[in-house]
Structure 1
Amino acid sequence: MTGSPADPPARSRPRLTVLPLIALIFYDVSGGPFGIEDSVRAGGGALLPVLGFLVLPALWSLPEALVTAELASAFPTNAGYVAWVSAAFGPAAAFLVGFTKWASGTLDNALYPVLFLDYLRSGGGLALAPPLRSLAVLALTAALTYLNYRGLHLVGLSALALTAFSLSPFVALTVLAAPKIRPARWLAIDVGAVNLRGYFNSMFWNLNYWDKASTLAGEVEEPRKTFPKAVFGAVGLVVGAYLIPLLAGTGALPSETAAEWTDGFFSEVGQRIGGPWLRVWIQAAAAMSNMGLFEAEMSSDSFQLLGMAEMGMIPAIFARRSKHGTPTFSILCSATGVVILSFMSFQEIIEFLNFLYGLGMLVVFAAFVKLRVKNPDLPRPYRIPVGTAGAAVMCVPPAVLITTVMCLASARTVIVNAVVVAAGVALYYGVEHAKRRAWVEFLAPVPPPPDSSHGSTTASDAADVEDVRAGLLADEPADEAPPRSHSA
């Protein structure tokens, strides 16, 4: 997996269009109802998860999707949210957000080989001994990493086909479950069995990562028009993909089965409602869904590293593209992290990554509001139809939800995340030292906005944001030129 001597010019690379981008956003966020089963068990029945998937998309998913649509259209580059934070708060904050969100994404990707094997095992299926399970995780990671290396356009088209296949058995499940549904079961709740930490972590994990697709904006055809359309299309698809199978499964099975709802249980639901053929179909769909989830997450994580390298934040080697237009070393870096973290349990991974992701999202929401205040005239091809005060109010519910999830975290999670943040701070200063010493090659950095303590005016702030934006968007012609090296 080595790069070609010269990166493929931007104009020669296939670009993502609306439908493949919808599929990639769908897999960044969801991938189907696989993984929502724990919300039923942790919620003590169907009521809390049903309410959660009705209410939380409006309070959490929609604000995050709206922010992503606005800022991705204003900064259509692979740097994504790193560029937004850099324009608002400077390179140090942007680096830390980029590092923590890349770490949370790598943690998230470590789930999918585990979920794939859980679905094979559920319902009396294939159970592997620990050594074979570890080998299977490695083999899956290697195969999916290679597919990612072969090109984002291929990944996008694959995601489109995988979306249709992954959701197809739930159409059959819903039709077969309809005569057996008892609406009263949707109101069932065993208060004594409610586990708020598990419930909120499950709901939060299943409804986040809308901003991840922003790191693919530099690979999108007409991103200023395409990105908002794809984001809003994905919102409807995600909510339907969660709510309809959840209502079918919990409405058709007795309320007493709530304790059985753990990851992989939808295949058992298929067995009980439709028979062995539906169980096998759901297991096959889960396998394909996990492939799509892995591919979308790795694409976002690796192109984020590429975007950070193009901003001069990390060494230029991470911006190196293969002959397929994919960031070779960024993909390898992300795949290594997945292998290292894949030994952790499902619930451990969810809680750790939710905390990390929440930290980054609080800064992203703050950057969104600050950019509205700092530069209201920044060209935004899509603009949320609210004023600055409305934009700030819109960010309050998701910020409250993030804070709730973080407050429910275990002491171990807080300690682990504190270590990760400290490592990110140390890494930032280490990278800056390497840049000053010219130990490795860096691309020329985008001029950062000045420190606000120096008394810059609103006009100069606006110019600084434009400098960041213009520098990030200047890679089209530069793509065909040799990399710009950083001088100390």
Structure 2
Amino acid sequence: MVYYCALTNAPPTKKLLRPLALVAVIFFTVSGGPYGMEPLLGYGGHGGSLLILLLTPLFWDIPTMLAVLELNAMMPVGGGYYQWVKRGLGLRWAFFEGWWTWLYTFVDLAIYPVLFVQYACWFLPGLAAWKIPICLGLIWSCAGLNILGVVPVGRASLILGTAVLIPFIILFGLGLYHLGPAAYAFTPLSLKGVGFSAAGMGCYTVMWNMLGWDNTSTYADQVERPARSYVVSMGIAFVLVLLVYVATLMTARGSGIGADVLRDNGFPALGVLVGGRVLGILLAAGGMASAVGLFAAVLLSVAQVPKAMADDRLLPSKLSALSPRFGTPARSIVVCAGVVSVMILWTFMDLVVIDITLYGAALFLEFITLVVLRIREPGTPRSFRVPLNVTGLCVLFVLPVGIYLFALNGALTDSGSAWKPAIFALVLLVSAEIAWQGVRWKRAQTRKMDYI
């Protein structure tokens, strides 16, 4: 059986990412803490918000994690999902996968510097006037960290992860002490009174706060014992993310904070209500740490894909060049940071809608790839296999497709402005075919020149 080799020219003695650091990187790639989940209470109310939070990971994240774990167990290679789709569906669909992923990650990355400034303004409101320089400073600082390699990013993620989690642990503990256990009692979980569009936007909010499991595969060749490490680290990260989200949402519900106050002022306002100004400061600092950690971790994953595509002559060959000192795709990292630098003026929820719409399309190609490889290569060794046959996999993947379509319809039928970014995202999906035709033409011209 033919296996794809790891796409790296780094020296064989390079340091590898260990399981504990991998948990931290995965945590930041898919979550970074509850920051950004503040609008959920307004969309779903007390009963509906918790129901959306519990059901969305069941429909969206668990099928994704299972697919990623099996595909990664087959091919723990640099480039991750791009290489999987190329092997299963061919070069054209691999280009679509890489193109859509590149687009949605630019959108995703643009969110975090903006969030950083919002939480920094908790300390100095005047910083809002310096939004652009601060965002650019964050973008290029994280780009420099990524050029140093995966291990520094992993170490930074461990430190930042601690800074994110401790304030929420304190929030939950003080909530139990001041509000009492009765405030955390489960109210009836129901979407009664929640409009279709509001439920859809609530799903978008949770989906954005728990996406990116496949992004963690793009540096699998830089992970110690990747097949085993990913199964353990991904499971720990999922449980940790869900527990933090549920505890935070239940604290917000029990505190009686207004949905508008939470949406407009964020979790620092909840911290002040529950534990005083010091806790509000800790949560604001945690929000800044979360933004930095998310940006660094997501940039780490996406910078590997243009490099892999450039190796296949789908993007300019210069993007495949590795830093001679650090063995990282430095040019790819710089290009990604440059594109994100021009996208930081968009609004948060617009970016979320575009992000999920693009990401879902790329994710579905990975689902199809797993089914195809199960049929075509049933005997290929896998250290992890989803305990379902081909029919069971198809049924399983109906769940994320269903919630994706539900959220998209909610945005398209929104009476506000959510339909505009949804339409824009659909246009961006179509752009993959236009770009592919351009690549085909250029490759044809190159072959003609080689023949001459």
Normalization by structure 2: what TM-score? 0.89
For residues 379-434 of structure 1, what are the alpha-carbon distances to aligned partners after superposition, in whole Å with 9 as ceiling and x for unaligned?
A: 21211122222222211111111111222233423432243233322222323333
Asked whether the equivalents of residues 60 and 398 of structure 1 are also in contact (C-alpha less than 8 Å), the reply is yes
Show the 5 A alignment for 1:152-191.
152-179=150-177, 180-181=179-180, 182-183=183-184, 186-187=187-188, 191=193
Alignment partners' CA distance in 2, 1:198 and 1:264 = 19
Post-superposition offset of 1:304: 1.7
Distance 1:178 1:487 in 2: 74
Residues 1:102 and 2:105 aligned together: no
Cα gap change, 1:381 to 1:315, in 2 (>3 Å) = farther
Residues 112-121 or 189-198, more deviating:
189-198
Residue pair 1:27, 1:293 contacting (<8 A) in 2 also: yes
Q: Give the letter aligned to residue 433 of structure 1.
A: W
Aligned length: 432
Separation in 2 of the partners of 1:423 and 1:348?
A: 19
1:413 to 416, 421, 435: 421
Tell me how far apart the structure 1 counterparts of residues 146 and 48 of structure 2 sit (CA, whole Å): 37
Structure 2 residue 112 is the aligned partner of structure 1 residue 112: yes
- The 8 Å contact of residues 26 and 213 in structure 2, kept in 1 or not, is answered as yes
CA distance in 1 between counterparts of 2:202 and 2:368 reads 26
1:427 lines up with 2:435 in the alignment = yes
| Partners of 1:73 and 1:228 within 8 A in 2 | no
Go from structure 1 to structure 2 and tell me whether the alpha carbon gap of 1:128 and 1:420 turns closer, same or farther (over 3 Å shift): farther
Q: Does 1:70 align with 2:73?
A: no
Alpha-carbon contact 1:50-1:186 (below 8 Å) kept: no
| Selected match of 1:229 from 218, 228, 232 | 232
1:130-171 deviation line (CA, Å, top 9, x unaligned)? 652122211221222212222111001111121122100111
Q: CA RMSD in A?
A: 2.4
Q: Which moved more, 1:131-140 or 1:408-417?
A: 408-417
Q: Which runs of 5+ in 2 are unaligned?
A: 1-7, 413-418
| Shift in Å, 1:115 | 0.8
1:297-312 matches, within 5 Å, as: 297-312=298-313
Distance 1:263 1:316, change over 3 A: farther
Q: Percent identity?
A: 28
Candidates 182, 195, 214, aligned match of 2:198? 195
1:127 is matched with which residue?
125
Residue of structure 1 in register with 2:416 after alignment: none
2:135 to 134, 137, 142: 137
8 Å contact 2:164–2:290 — kept in the other structure? yes
Match of 1:149 in 2: 147
Aligned residue identity for 1:228? V
Match of 1:248 in 2: 251
Alignment check: 8 A CA contact 1:118 1:263 kept: no
Q: 1:324 corresponds to which letter in structure 2?
A: F
1:371 — aligned with what? 373
Q: Could you say if the C-alpha distance between residues 183 and 20 of structure 1 is closer, same or farther in structure 2, counting changes exceeding 3 Å?
A: closer
CA distance in 2, matches of 1:49, 1:311: 44
CA distance in 2, matches of 1:267, 1:187: 27
SS class of match (1:11): coil
Instruction: Give the letter aligned to residue 201 of structure 1.
Output: Y
Distance 2:163 2:271 in 1: 16
Alignment of 1:79-98 (within 5 A): 79-98=79-98
| Residues 227-260 of structure 1: per-residue CA shift (max 9 Å, x gap) | 2222212111111121112222222x12x61232
> How does the TM-score come out when normalised to structure 1?
0.83
Counterpart of 1:275 in structure 2 is: 276
Q: Contact conserved, 1:111 with 1:349, CA < 8 A, in 2?
A: yes
Single out whichever of 68-77 and 143-152 deviates more from structure 2.
143-152
113-122 or 33-42: bigger deviation: 113-122
Of the structure 1 ranges 403-412 and 284-293, higher mean CA displacement relative to structure 2 is found in 403-412
The offset of 1:213, in angstroms, is 0.7
Judge which range, 417-426 or 316-325, deviates more: 417-426
How far apart, CA to CA, are the structure 2 residues paired with 1:195 and 1:150?
Answer: 43
State the secondary structure of the residue aligned to 2:341: helix
1:210 equivalenced with 2:218 (yes/no): no
Matched residues in 1 for 2:279 and 2:382: separation? 47
Counterparts of residues 279-428 of structure 1 (less than 5 Å) = 279-322=280-323, 323-410=325-412, 411-428=419-436
Unaligned runs of 5+ in 1: 1-6, 440-485
**Which amino acid in 1 is paired with 2:356?**
N
Q: Which amino acid aligns with 2:164?
A: S
The runs of at least 4 aligned residues of structure 1 exceeding 4 Å deviation read 184-190
Match for 1:69: what amino acid?
A: L
Question: Cα deviations across residues 93-131 of structure 1 (Å, max 9, x unaligned)?
Answer: 110111111111110110001111112234xx4224765
Distance 1:242 1:338, change over 3 A: same
Structure 1 window deviating more from structure 2 (23-32 vs 80-89): it is: 80-89
Whole-Å Cα distance in 2 between the matches of residues 354 and 127 of structure 1? 31
Residue identity matched to 1:162: L
Q: Secondary structure at the match of 2:367?
A: helix
